[in-house]
């Protein structure tokens, strides 16, 4: 089966140990989970609210649990530390309380992998500062009034939240929507990276 994969998904696959247990929050049509099953032999479940995407994921043979990430579904279904990786791609910015969800993800998962559109990217900054308008880009192709992205943040914002919540960044990377990684993105990720990828875990609590 040929799957068109974004570099984002390829990077995620590199971060996953083979044969681990994975939970994909907002799994969409199941492309990532299917890829991880094929290339990393993971076992796992997708969680997705949209009925049509549930059907598409099921057609790929994915275990998908229709759930609402704004509710208590995660805690209802999973015990603390019961999953190796809780993954959430491009969904942190659409939930009602990203901070609480992040906390939950790191309670249930030993590690979490999170990707989100970087609101600090130069295109966003330019549109707001030069045109005085809410940015609309290929990474965020919505109007201010119909966007599902209600909690956008920059790399720096996200890392501040991690610091505040005693969350350790194990790895981070950036990609752009043209499927490239450039030297500039490595040097100035918050300015040139369109999509942020983070692998995080909770710091041991006895240090506090």
Partner 1 sequence: MTNSIGIVTPQTLHIDQPLQLVSGALLPQYDLVYETYGELNAQANNAVLICHALSGDHHVAGFHQGETKPGWWNDYIGPGKPIDTDRLFVVCSNNLGSCRGSTGPASLNPDTGKIYGLDFPIVTCRDWVNSQNALRQHLGIEQWAAIVGGSMGGMQVMQWAIDQPDKLRHAIVIAAAPKLSAQNIAFNEVARRAIMTDPEFHNGRFIEAGTNPKTGLTLARMLGHLTYLSDDMMGTKFGRELRADKLKYSFDVEFQVESYLRYQGEKFATKQNFDANTYLLMTKALDYFDPAAEFDHNLSQAFARTQAKFLVVSFTSDWRFSPARSREIVRALLDNDLDVSYAEVESEHGHDAFLLPNSHYEGIFRAYMHRVIQESASL
Applying CB under 8 A, the residues found at the interface with partner 1 are: 21, 43, 45, 51-52, 54-56, 58-59, 61-67, 76-79
* C-beta of residue 122 within 8 angstroms of C-beta of residue 192: yes
Q: Indicate the DSSP class of residue 128.
A: I
Closer to partner 1 by CB, 55 or 171: give it.
55
- Provide the minimum distance between the beta carbon of 69 and partner 1 in the complex, in angstroms, as a whole number: 14
- Provide the minimum distance between the beta carbon of 142 and partner 1 in the complex, in angstroms, as a whole number: 25
Closer to partner 1 by CB, 108 or 196: give it.
108
With residue 157 as reference, give the H or E element that holds it.
helix 155-164
Closer to partner 1 by CB, 63 or 137: give it.
63
Beta-carbon contacts of 129 under 8 Å, excluding residues fewer than 6 positions away, are none
- Provide the minimum distance between the beta carbon of 87 and partner 1 in the complex, in angstroms, as a whole number: 17
**Which pairing describes strands 83-89 and 195-202: parallel, antiparallel, or unpaired?**
unpaired
Strand partners, 202: 167
- Provide the minimum distance between the beta carbon of 133 and partner 1 in the complex, in angstroms, as a whole number: 37
């Amino acid at each position: 089966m040929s799957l068109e994969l974004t570099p984002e998904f390829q990077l995620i696959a590199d971060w996953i140990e083979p044969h681990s247990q994975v939970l994909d929050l907002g799994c969409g049509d199941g492309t990532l989970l299917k890829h991880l099953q094929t290339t990393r032999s993971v076992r796992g479940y997708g969680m997705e609210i949209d009925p049509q995407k549930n059907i598409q994921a099921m057609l790929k043979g994915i275990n998908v649990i229709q759930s609402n990430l704004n509710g208590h579904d995660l805690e209802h279904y999973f015990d603390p530390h019961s999953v190796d990786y809780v993954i959430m791609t491009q969904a942190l910015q659409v939930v009602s309380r990203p901070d609480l969800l992040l906390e939950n993800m790191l309670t249930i998962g030993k590690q979490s992998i999170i990707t989100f559109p970087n609101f600090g990217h130069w295109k966003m900054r330019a549109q707001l500062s030069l045109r005085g308008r809410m940015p609309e880009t290929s990474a965020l192709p919505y109007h201010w009034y119909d966007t599902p992205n209600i909690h956008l943040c920059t790399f720096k914002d996200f890392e501040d939240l991690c610091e505040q919540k005693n969350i350790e960044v194990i790895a981070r990377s950036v990609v752009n929507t043209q499927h490239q990684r450039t030297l500039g993105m490595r040097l100035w990720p918050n300015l040139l990276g369109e999509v942020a990828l983070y692998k995080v875990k909770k710091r041991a609590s006895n240090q506090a």
